[in-house]
Each structure stands twice: as structure tokens, then as C-alpha cells.
Amino acid sequence: MEMENVIDTLANAVVTTAENEISPEKEQGFNNVANIVDNPSQLKVNREFNIQKPPSIDAVLVNVDDIQKLKELSERLKKRKASYIDFLFGAATLLIGGTISAAISGIKLETPIKGWVFYIACPVVGVGIIVACIFLKILRNKDDQFLAERIISIIESIGEGGLSS
């Protein structure tokens, strides 16, 4: 008997709490969301979504010629792989290394052909090639700087509204 009273008391407490939590505003909102219909063919579902407008984006019209010029300059840079400058620099280090190896192995300058090749021809040609490589690298760096400046000027002109070549 006592157990039944406890269950009834708990059930009444749950019902009382549920009645206190449902306000007329909540009931009204629920009634607006779902209207119960007896006939399933009359059943309609409405959905509402809040749509947020995206922030404004600065748009710039880009001339096709500008894109073509950027593509040409980029492909010009892309085509560069291992250049002849690197090959020449490798040959110069090989020649100077031959002179150092000849000195370590004890080849004398008086030896008819070996002495002349390792002590006279190799160092002179090797140093000449290194000097040429330095100048070629300087010229190539200037060309790279020119290409980079040209690309930057095209990109800046796109932001201003067009290229004035």
C-alpha cells in the first residue's frame, strides 16, 4: 500500500512539474508549428530558414590579356630547369679539383703532358669558367628580377582596373 502511495505521489509531482513548465506562449508556438490533421492527404510541411547575407567581397574585372601575360611570364620561369651555368660551374670545380688531385698525387710540373695539363691548363680554364659563371648568374638574376617586377606590375594594374602596358 505504501509503495502505491509513493508511485502516485511521484506521478502527481511529474504532472505538476510538466504543467508548470508549459506556458501559453510555448503552447501557442507549438500549435503554430504543427497542426494536427485527420486526413493525411492534407498534411503539409513548412520549413523556415534564416539566411545570412555573406559579407561583401571586392570584385575586380580582369582583362584576359593580363591573365595571358601572367601565364606567359610564369611559363617562362617554369621552363627553367638545370641550366648550362650549373653545368659550367660543375666543370670548373672538376678542373680545379684535378689540379688539387695532381698536387696530392705528386705529379710534377716537369712531366711532359700531365704536368702542363694539370698545373697550367686546368687552373686557368677552371678559374675562367668560374668568372664566366659569376657573370652569367648576375645576368640571370637581373632577368629574374625583371620578370618578378613585371608580374608584380601586372598584378597591381589588375587591382587598379586595367593594364596600361
Burial class (CB in 10 A: 0-12, 13-18, 19+), 62: middle
**What's the predicted TM-score (pTM) here?**
0.50
Low pLDDT (below 70) residues in the chain: 1-45, 59-60, 81-82, 159-165
Predicted pLDDT of residue 149: 87
Kindly report, residue by residue over 102-140, the tens digit of the pLDDT: 999 998 888 888 889 999 999 999 999 999 999 999 988
Percent of the chain with pLDDT over 90: 24
What are the Cα distances from residue 113, in Å, to 106, 110, 116, 120? 14, 9, 5, 10
d(CA 43, CA 36): 8
